[in-house]
Chains A and B, each alone.
Chain A
């Protein structure tokens, strides 16, 4: 550090480029090894490359490190990088939505951390990324940014939040605690409030998650990898012939059922493992004004953000969890990881919801649904699904004769599913917050404050309109798809519309 406010990355950043290239080449090296390449008997130019390329990469890495620097001024930070193409980024502290300290695997192994600074407008990547800082520096920087942010908070609330008709967000939890019906807790400034998720609770959470998408991707990856390796040793079509051999020795139904069962079990165990790896050591705490989240076993992540930057609260109850009376709480915070909401709590009893929200996000209220989807909306919920599944059944009966008749079982199943969706749909409106509930498979409850809704959409076909049924969707920052519920009572949706509509200004 040559000037007091000029900072550089950790020197180990020099090696990053080399590591990235090695990481990219790893599958090829492995393949080469499997093919039995004799490493002692390579042409001379190969040895030259093995020595020369890393030196060049290190040189590039050094130049990259030399030109990468960041300045911390009184109201903004400036990140400069790039040798040939200079890139200079200015981030005003007041615009920062969250500061994340992460340790992806490489950083974890090298015992350093990466800091991501999220601001609105960073579309695919975070606006500010500092890929390599020592752990101490990373946390110091985070705390520094936080303290700047706090100073700015007063004026920011006036300039940003005053634009929308809502009371300023309660910065201390006092009022919120009195508002929510929890037992008296010590003043928040005196005692850091932290929730740790223990191992048992995490296992339960993991066991009740069905993260099939992740598992499918993992299995596919594993399969192609295993295929590559087996092809090195085994004759062609080893897997296929092995499968056929096994199949011919056992009756068909049993094999298929057993295979399906094994695959499901395997997927489930895998999803437990992945879940535990991802969320192990889950801690959420409130330090000063900010909420701090940290988790991860191999890849450690911490997120720090102001409660006022939370755009929406999503309570998700999976099928299994609903039976256990448990839910997970997710937060929509502006982040470069657009698809993923932040987890506030992976496994909480439904009864504790009010308590934990009162603690961390006092501006959000837990309300029960008062305006469910009307009885006649069930038609719209189930109609096309039933038509489709009936069509499928017809086709399979025509095609497979009587064994195709099993597909008729799908009809009541689909109906039950659609009925459950209809049953869960509903909204509740309070003066400052809209609560929406819907079910796809898991039941989700969205809590959105009026001041954070960016746009509202209401739609319905002419037929639905005649039946006084409308669908509602709200858009908030950081989620361009928005949150919505289908087929509600038109009058209820009308109330929400009028609630969101700007009141005519008197002083004009």
Chain B
């Protein structure tokens, strides 16, 4: 808990998560505009539209601007010889310790947007939990996967 962790997500992941959040909000804006058109045509009150716009904009600022930045700043991890330590969390600062001997398998995944930026997510799966490191460069992700693969096979001598 007290040792400092050095590895971070790739800076590009910040961009990716912002873009994907903006896309989600664009859909919401489109829905609101659609309603605005109908309301103007049918002479309905326009008050809900302004409330909707305000809410969507607030959520856009929160989820597309602030949240990814804080999340990026708080997320650090490091793979030691025998264990993986991850530190994350916005409200609660959380430390996670996963011994390599407990790792069952490692998964790599990347969506179209992630691929465009040459990023991938690494999921480390144990018998009970899944730990995700989202947004590493593809080469780093592959290297991490391989290293965990090697370390997970190592068996500790009897103590």
Residues of A within 8 A of B (CB): 120, 162-166, 453-462, 465, 475-480, 482, 494, 497, 500-505, 507-508
Contacts and interface: CB of A to CB of B under 8 A. Distances in A.
Contacts of A507: 157
Interface in B91-110: 91-102
B82 A505 contact: yes
Contact of B127 (A164, A477, A502): A477
Which applies to chain A's interface (DSSP): helix, strand, loop or mixed?
A: mixed
Nearest to B99: A502
B155 A477 contact: no
B6 to A, nearest CB: 17
A458 B94 contact: yes
The 7 closest A-B pairs by CB, nearest first: A502-B82, A165-B159, A459-B94, A477-B127, A475-B128, A459-B92, A458-B95
B81 interface: yes
Contacts of A458: 1, 94-95, 97
B4 interface: no
B112 to A, nearest CB: 29
B128 A465 contact: no
Given A457-B95, A459-B93, A504 B81 contact: yes
Nearest to A494: B1
Given A164-B101, A460-B93, A454 B129 contact: yes
The number of chain B residues touching the other chain, given as a range, is 20 to 34
Interface string B69-93: 0000000000011110000010111
Given A477-B128, A478-B128, A501-B83, A454 B102 contact: yes
B96 A455 contact: yes
A480 B128 contact: yes
B156 interface: yes
Contacts of B81: 502, 504-505, 508
Contact of B97 (A120, A501, A508): A501
A378 B127 CA distance: 34
Nearest to B98: A455
Nearest to B126: A454
Contacts, number: 90
Contacts of B91: 461
B89 A459 contact: yes
B146 interface: no
Contact of A454 (B2, B127, B155, B159): B127
B93 A476 contact: no
Contacts of B92: 459-461
A453 B82 CA distance: 14
Which applies to chain B's interface (DSSP): helix, strand, loop or mixed?
A: loop
Nearest to A159: B155
A217 B98 CA distance: 39
Contacts of A504: 81
B155 to A, nearest CB: 5
A500 B1 CA distance: 11
A120 B1 contact: no
Contacts of A455: 96-99, 102, 126, 128-129, 131
A455 B95 CA distance: 11
Contacts of A502: 80-83, 99-100, 156
Contact of A462 (B83, B93, B158, B159): B93
B95 to A, nearest CB: 5
A165 B157 CA distance: 8
B128 A482 contact: yes
A166 B101 CA distance: 13
Contacts of A480: 128-129
A120 B127 contact: yes
A503 B157 CA distance: 12
B156 A164 contact: yes
Contacts of A164: 99, 101, 156
Interface in B46-85: 80-83
A459 B129 contact: no
Contacts of B127: 120, 454, 477-478
Nearest to A459: B94
Nearest to A164: B101
Contacts of B156: 162-165, 502, 505
29 contacts: A162-B157, A163-B156, A164-B101, A165-B159, A453-B102, A454-B102, A457-B95, A457-B97, A459-B89, A459-B92, A459-B94, A460-B92, A460-B93, A462-B93, A465-B93, A475-B126, A477-B127, A478-B127, A479-B128, A480-B129, A482-B128, A494-B1, A497-B1, A500-B97, A501-B97, A502-B156, A505-B81, A505-B157, A507-B157
Contacts of A482: 128-129
